[in-house]
Structure 1
Amino acid sequence: MDETCPSRQDGIERARQLFCQEFGEPPAGGRLLRVHAPGRSEIAGNHTDHEGGHVIAGALDVAVYALARPNGTGVVRLASDGYPAIEVSLATLDPREDEKNTTAALVRGMASRMAADGRVPAGFDLAMTSTIPVGGGLSSSAAVEAALGRAMEALWEGRGYDALEMARMSQFAENAYFGKPCGLMDQASVCLGGLAFIDFAVADQPVAKHLEFDFEDHGYALCLVDVGSSHADLTDAYAAMPQEMQAVASAFGKSRLCEVDEAEFDLRVPELRRDLGDRAVLRAIHYWHENALVDKRWGALNAPDIDAFLRCTRTSGASSAMFLQNVSCGGESQPAMVALGLAERVLDGRGATRIHGGGFGGTIQCFVPLDLAEEFSARMDAWLGAGSCRRYRISNRGAYAEWE
């Protein structure tokens, strides 16, 4: 994505208008800190990161845009476009139960990690706007964390952080303060930028590789379809996936499935079904199946062989539905499954579809032939609501902050 593209300039200008509205015009000669953090799409690796597996993730051409400056107090004042302004006192940085699932928790969590690394937190004003659809599975929370982290890194004296270290700090804020037990993929992709293969075998030291790749150069549009159901009430359902996978690992004296020998798993399936239940066993099966598919898709992208990539993507989607079971919670309401079914009707065997990200609600991911992209968007919007289907491109730059 071109850093001078109109959408980026629009985002910065919206943030500037909000800043002046909430905090006043900057003094003559006063500089503002410009902050950018992209959304992300999980290209491959559905719930493999928290088990020490592999993923392919792509930063997208939607982002959090922010402007910030010190305010000389001990309070962070944050204005977010479309939401009430908040204030977070930095006098104490301990987690607060009443801040769970709020932006205030992310501010306090990121400040806590910065303080633990020797920085001295000080108040600042920050105005933030976003083009990332909220609740759409594009990691808006990870982008906010990374934006806050890059702002604090620039505003408070201390050492710089590489992309993966910033990602770990962001994950800590989401786990310990926001209250969502996420893996590291979202934050890593947001901080790295571009299309990245990430290996999480060493939990606190993931290894990343980059590839310059544009799906449209190979005949396909990357479309994400909002299924019309948010993630707000699904924290327990999300948490159950790593919990059940890790319960299987624990049966072997391990903490993550990447440490378990598959042959040993095969020998103990009857015992695992009895002790942990069928769903835990199925989710472990998904992990190994999906992890192998990530490697095949990375090889296909590097070849490049878009047809092989699409074949593996279709197989991945089936694994998530049948084994991981994160497409539907059952019952009459099955928005993601309906969206997948409708997308398949339009594609009619071409391209590929799969559940995207955490699952259950949010979005589905579709690789749509370019000659079908306009019709595909129109029909999905007609079924699911205007604006439900959106076409994305990979953005090459991860989260950053720079002085104007």
Structure 2
Amino acid sequence: MKDVRIWKQELANGTHADRLASLYCCAPEQTAAFAARYQAVLDGLEATFGAHSEAALFSAPGRTEIGGNHTDHQHGQVLAGSVNIDMIAAVGPNDRNELRVQSEGYDLCIIPLNDLEARKEEENTSAAILRGECAAFVQRGAVLSGLDVYISSNVPKGSGVSSSAAFEVLIGTILNELFMGEAKVSPIEIAQIGQWSENVYFGKPCGLMDQMASSVGNIVTIDFADPANPIVEPVKVDFSQAGLALCILDSGADHADLTDEYAAIPNDCRAVAKVCGGEVLRDVPFETFMAKLPECRAACGDRAVLRALHVYADNQRVVKQVAALRAGDFDTFLALVNESGLSSWEYLQNVIPAGYKEHQEVAVTIAAAKQLLGGRGAVRVHGGGFAGTAQAFVPLDMLDEFKTGIERIIGEGRCHVLSIRPEGGAVL
């Protein structure tokens, strides 16, 4: 930690410009606004909790899923990257033996550090994640003491770039840095702690891709065949050098009330796997699944069978996407992005929530983007689906026209032009 006054002086005079330029994918002379964000969270820390003589600054990015839609929870393969929007925090000690967290726009959350058992009544709340992460670090030998945390975010909540994973990785990075000493865990384990907290304390059966992309950073391909020891490999690529802009299109629909829709996807896939003698689809050879397809239809229903077909195909698409990117073959890469999008809509069925008629925002966003792209680039549903965002790879020579056109349809400020961030959870 560092004296708060020194932090503010350094941020004001540009001492951290190179560091900020790396995190936010810009030139050092363009970092004044980012420095001001960190000054603001230091001010927020003291306005909320009182004066602190010292503090530390942290960041955790949002993520973009590039390949492998809903494959992670079936122990499959994904291609994902961290992006240059993030959740940041100023952190200072307190003598109350409590973790006190104030996120801008939300209620203060207080976790007594001597009471870290899961609580049923806390499910689906931020308190559950905080309590779970503290418990996970205590299990790994951390001796926790009181902390005050003030958080600010420009990762849109409920929009598919995973503000929840950024929150989990941010808290994990803070606890790891301040309490683990020489026994610090890896970014991979920080991601696993976030997933465990979400599964066990928060009550959501999520996969691991979101947390992994936020925690590890850059573009990575991840094979979850053994979830306890995922294989993570970097994939070096600069989309701008290929003449492409990465755009996240916020459909305007919030997925906060769609937990049942998300839970149904892994449940359907696991039901198919069980009929075929496995726990998840990765346990079942595709040939076995096809041989037992009539049994799967009878036992699980046709929607589950179609979802399984998507998962098998998207796993193979990830392998092909990685090969194409490493070979610099962007035409093949874009074709595979479009294939994945069609498969998600037709087979996985995570574009329109069941029974929705008047509100089909993600579907309209994808359809409009395809019309504007006119056969160039690529577009697909992004992340969990049903609400939130679509992802588009837009040729740079048509970016301005595309952005104007799509925002006329989905709303001003809803086309986010992002860059791949080279680092995951970070200490400033």
TM-score range, shorter chain: over 0.9
Matches within 5 A, 1:225-240: 225-240=249-264
Matches within 5 A, 1:284-363: 284-329=308-353, 330-332=355-357, 333-363=359-389
The answer on whether the counterparts of 2:172 and 2:194 sit within 8 Å (CA) in structure 1 is yes
Which residue of 1 is the match for residue 87 of structure 2? 64
2:416 to 366, 390, 398: 390
Structure 1: which 4+ aligned runs deviate by more than 6 Å?
Answer: none
Query: Which amino acid letter does the alignment assign opposite residue 423 of structure 2?
Result: R
Which residue of 2 is the match for residue 283 of structure 1? 307
Query: Which amino acid letter does the alignment assign opposite residue 298 of structure 1?
Result: V
1:105 to 123, 128, 135: 128
CA distance in 2, matches of 1:127, 1:401: 15
What's the CA shift for 1:85?
2.0
Which residue of 2 is the match for residue 248 of structure 1? 272
CA distance in 2, matches of 1:72, 1:225: 44
Which residue of 2 is the match for residue 2 of structure 1? 22
Query: Which amino acid letter does the alignment assign opposite residue 335 of structure 1?
Result: E
Query: Which amino acid letter does the alignment assign opposite residue 79 of structure 1?
Result: Q
The TM-score, its normalising length taken from structure 2, stands at 0.91
CA distance in 1, matches of 2:249, 2:302: 31
2:217 to 193, 202, 206: 193
What's the CA shift for 1:269?
1.2
CA distance in 2, matches of 1:247, 1:63: 36
Query: Which amino acid letter does the alignment assign opposite residue 375 of structure 2?
Result: G
Percent sequence identity over aligned pairs: 40
1:160 to 171, 180, 184: 184
The answer on whether the counterparts of 1:36 and 1:147 sit within 8 Å (CA) in structure 2 is yes
Query: Which amino acid letter does the alignment assign opposite residue 207 of structure 1?
Result: I
Tell which deviates more after alignment, 237-246 or 90-99.
Answer: 90-99
What's the CA shift for 1:157?
4.3
- Say what the alpha-carbon RMSD is for the aligned residues: 1.4
Which residue of 2 is the match for residue 19 of structure 1? 45
Which residue of 2 is the match for residue 368 of structure 1? 394
The answer on whether the counterparts of 1:70 and 1:155 sit within 8 Å (CA) in structure 2 is no
The TM-score, its normalising length taken from structure 1, stands at 0.96
2:294 to 270, 279, 299: 270
CA distance in 2, matches of 1:169, 1:34: 21
1:52 to 71, 75, 86: 75
| 1:351-384 deviation per Cα after TM superposition (whole angstroms, max 9, x unaligned) | 1110000000000000011111111111111111
The answer on whether the counterparts of 2:61 and 2:214 sit within 8 Å (CA) in structure 1 is yes
CA distance in 1, matches of 2:34, 2:225: 35
Which residue of 1 is the match for residue 149 of structure 2? 126
1:209 to 217, 226, 233: 233
CA distance in 2, matches of 1:178, 1:205: 23
Which residue of 1 is the match for residue 112 of structure 2? 89
Which residue of 1 is the match for residue 247 of structure 2? 223
The answer on whether the counterparts of 2:247 and 2:394 sit within 8 Å (CA) in structure 1 is yes
Q: Are residues 1:399 and 2:425 paired?
A: yes
Which residue of 2 is the match for residue 261 of structure 1? 285
Where 1:107 maps in the other structure, the secondary structure is helix
Tell which deviates more after alignment, 85-94 or 32-41.
Answer: 85-94
Question: Which runs of 5 or more structure 1 residues have no equivalent in the other structure?
Answer: none
Where 2:90 maps in the other structure, the secondary structure is strand
1:41 to 64, 67, 85: 64
Where 2:324 maps in the other structure, the secondary structure is helix
Query: Which amino acid letter does the alignment assign opposite residue 386 of structure 2?
Result: F
CA distance in 1, matches of 2:76, 2:180: 35
Aligned length: 399
Query: Which amino acid letter does the alignment assign opposite residue 227 of structure 1?
Result: S
CA distance in 2, matches of 1:266, 1:16: 57
What's the CA shift for 1:174?
1.1
What's the CA shift for 1:122?
1.9
